[in-house]
């Protein structure tokens, strides 16, 4: 082969190499004897070799040089010893048997079968998980016909198997009057949207059950994936609870009006008897009347607190900016505070909340601090307000009192639960229950813990809107470090 022919041959090889590079394909040029004449970077990656390696140092698969067919499937041994399957398409053959080939990796049947098995195993596990949870699932294509359904979905409909659902309209088992808006809800789903809808479902036996369908778009098929669960019992429980709440509301109305009047009369007439019979009443009778009067007053207070508890959420007003430091001081002035109480308040920011609710909450906690104080040491109370996040404030009240036993820290948050009997300490047993109800209204909670001194720590979380406090910050910082004594 003269020089002109050689230059033409290699120019052609270079042209094919540039084409392979642009298509991200491997390129290799072989002599008639199968020796490598040239290769590109993509082929070097396939072979696991350095692209700077000299062509003479590369061994091409024998099948690429010996076979005249195209395409050729061969096994390429990489430099690390790993074998990969490749496909070579011959793009040029020289007059003396030289070959130029495009080479790419192929996924053999074993690889494809392994991928298919993995996909089937994923589907099987998914079916098991949804089946165990009792949650039905169906997958519909863009034509709104079911492609797949799991066994739980078949059981919801009382069908023998999920195969009976394939190719069916997913809403065929819903009442006719619900089908139009269900289809509309499905059609209006955005590509990344989701919808949660409660509707009726007709079982094969004719029974109507309530279900919740959670629908999302399937990015693979362009159809819809829907999870369906039976909420019949759940909705019945909600109705039962609503009925009980209504009964409780009726009781609270009766307690507010019908029970208060008898208690008031008992108190009044006990006082009148004591006055009318003052000259002839024995000491025993006087003590008995005092017991009657005290019991009627406690009963009136209890009725009042029960009414407050039941109607609390309806009576919480609009929020406003409230400074916590002066509010707590006002509450302490209202309570029967013993001498020597040491109170410190760390609350530099105001709260945006209904003032009456916050006052009632603080009063309940502080009155418990006083009621359950130790008799052998001055009472120390630390009140602190700290923002946990942008919308959650934590109020912490810590004392050095008797504390709350660990096994009672949940129970005392329920109505009418007390640490001691009525005769030992004052109160109605409703204070912390009202705190918990206020916290619940504001999306929070109440937690009781033990303080380092053995007393109680009451932690109250409230979800509130945080205000811009730059103007009001300085007015309370000066007070927060100074302990107040009573």
Give me the pLDDT at residue 87, please. 82
Residue 272, both tokens: 């009148």
For residue 230, the cross-strand partners are 211
Q: How far apart are CA 268 and CA 104, in angstroms?
A: 102
Residue 135, both tokens: 């949650």
* Whether the domain at 130-230 and the domain at 320-485 fall into the same CATH topology: no
Domain with residues 130-230, CATH architecture: 2-Layer Sandwich (3.30)
User: SS3 of 71, please?
Assistant: coil
Q: Which long-range contacts (CB under 8 A, 24 or more apart) does 176-184 make?
A: 182/213, 183/144
Task: Residue 430: name the closest of 371, 379, 356 by CA.
Answer: 371
Residue 29 carries which DSSP code?
Answer: E
37 touches 31 (CB < 8 A): yes
Task: Residue 302: name the closest of 248, 263, 253, 249 by CA.
Answer: 263
- For domain 3-106, give the CATH number: 3.30.450.20
464 touches 393 (CB < 8 A): yes
User: SS3 of 82, please?
Assistant: coil
Would you report the helix, strand and coil content of the chain in percent, each value rounded to 5? Answer: 45, 25, 35
Structural element, H or E, at residue 223: none
Within 8 A by CB and 6+ apart from 9, the residues are 1, 94, 98
Query: How far, in whole angstroms, is CA 398 from its chain's centroid?
Result: 30
Give me the pLDDT at residue 472, please. 35
271 touches 293 (CB < 8 A): yes
Handedness of CA 155, 159, 164, 169 (dihedral sign): negative
User: Which residue ranges of the chain lie beneath pLDDT 70?
Assistant: 1-23, 65-70, 91-92, 94-95, 107-133, 219-221, 252-257, 416-428, 468-486
Handedness of CA 126, 128, 134, 140 (dihedral sign): positive
Residue 434, both tokens: 């009202």
Q: How far apart are CA 33 and CA 100, in angstroms?
A: 13
Q: How far apart are CA 398 and CA 403, in angstroms?
A: 10
Look at domain 320-485 and name its CATH class.
alpha beta
Q: How far apart are CA 169 and CA 171, in angstroms?
A: 5
Give me the pLDDT at residue 418, please. 65
Structural element, H or E, at residue 388: strand 380-389
pTM over 0.75, yes/no: no
Whether the bond between 160 and the residue before it is cis, its omega within 30 degrees of 0, is no
Give me the pLDDT at residue 194, please. 82
Give me the pLDDT at residue 209, please. 94
Kind of pairing between the strands at 194-202 and 146-149: unpaired
Annotated domain spans of the chain: 3-106, 130-230, 259-315, 320-485
Give me the pLDDT at residue 255, please. 64
């Amino acid at each position: 082969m003269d020089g002109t022919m050689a230059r033409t041959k290699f120019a052609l090889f270079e042209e094919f190499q540039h084409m392979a590079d642009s298509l991200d394909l491997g390129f290799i040029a072989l002599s008639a004897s199968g020796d490598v004449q040239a290769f590109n970077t993509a082929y070097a990656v396939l072979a696991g070799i350095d692209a700077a390696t000299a062509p003479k140092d590369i061994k091409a698969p024998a099948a690429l040089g010996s076979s005249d067919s195209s395409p050729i499937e061969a096994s390429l041994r990489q430099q690390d010893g790993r074998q990969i399957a490749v496909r070579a398409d011959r793009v040029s053959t020289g007059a003396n048997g030289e070959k130029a080939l495009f080479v790419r990796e192929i996924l053999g049947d074993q690889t494809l079968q392994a991928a298919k098995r993995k996909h089937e195993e994923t589907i099987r596990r998914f079916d098991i998980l949804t089946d165990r949870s009792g949650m039905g699932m169906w997958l519909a294509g863009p034509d709104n016909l079911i492609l797949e359904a799991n066994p739980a979905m078949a059981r919801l409909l009382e069908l023998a198997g999920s195969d009976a659902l394939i190719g069916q309209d997913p809403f065929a088992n819903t009442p006719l009057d619900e089908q139009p808006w269900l289809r509309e809800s499905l059609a209006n789903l955005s590509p990344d949207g989701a919808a949660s809808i409660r509707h009726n479902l007709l079982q094969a036996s004719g029974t109507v059950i309530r279900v919740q369908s959670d629908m999302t778009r399937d990015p693979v098929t362009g159809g819809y994936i829907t999870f369906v669960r039976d909420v019949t019992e759940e909705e019945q429980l909600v109705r039962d609870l609503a009925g009980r709440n209504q009964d409780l509301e009726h009781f609270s109305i009766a307690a507010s009006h019908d029970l208060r009047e008898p208690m008031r009369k008992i108190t009044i007439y006990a006082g009148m008897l004591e006055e009318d019979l003052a000259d002839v009443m024995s000491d025993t009778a006087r003590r008995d009347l005092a017991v009657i009067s005290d019991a009627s007053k406690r009963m009136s207070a209890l009725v009042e607190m029960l009414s407050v508890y039941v109607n609390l959420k309806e009576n919480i007003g609009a929020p406003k900016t409230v400074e916590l430091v002066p509010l707590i001081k006002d509450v302490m002035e209202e309570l029967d505070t013993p001498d020597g109480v040491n109170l410190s308040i760390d609350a530099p920011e105001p709260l945006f909340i209904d003032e009456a609710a916050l006052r009632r909450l603080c009063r309940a906690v502080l009155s418990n601090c006083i009621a359950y104080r130790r008799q052998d040491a001055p009472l120390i109370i630390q009140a602190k307000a700290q923002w946990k996040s942008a919308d959650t404030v934590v109020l912490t009240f810590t004392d050095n009192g008797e504390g709350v036993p660990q096994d009672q820290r949940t129970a005392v948050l329920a109505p009418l639960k007390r640490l001691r009997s009525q005769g030992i300490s004052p109160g109605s047993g409703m204070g912390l229950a009202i705190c918990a109800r206020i916290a619940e209204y504001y999306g929070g909670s109440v937690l009781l813990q033990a303080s380092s001194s053995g007393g109680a720590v009451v932690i109250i979380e409230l979800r509130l809107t945080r205000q811009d406090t730059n103007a009001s910050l300085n007015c309370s910082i000066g007070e927060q470090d100074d302990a107040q004594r009573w």
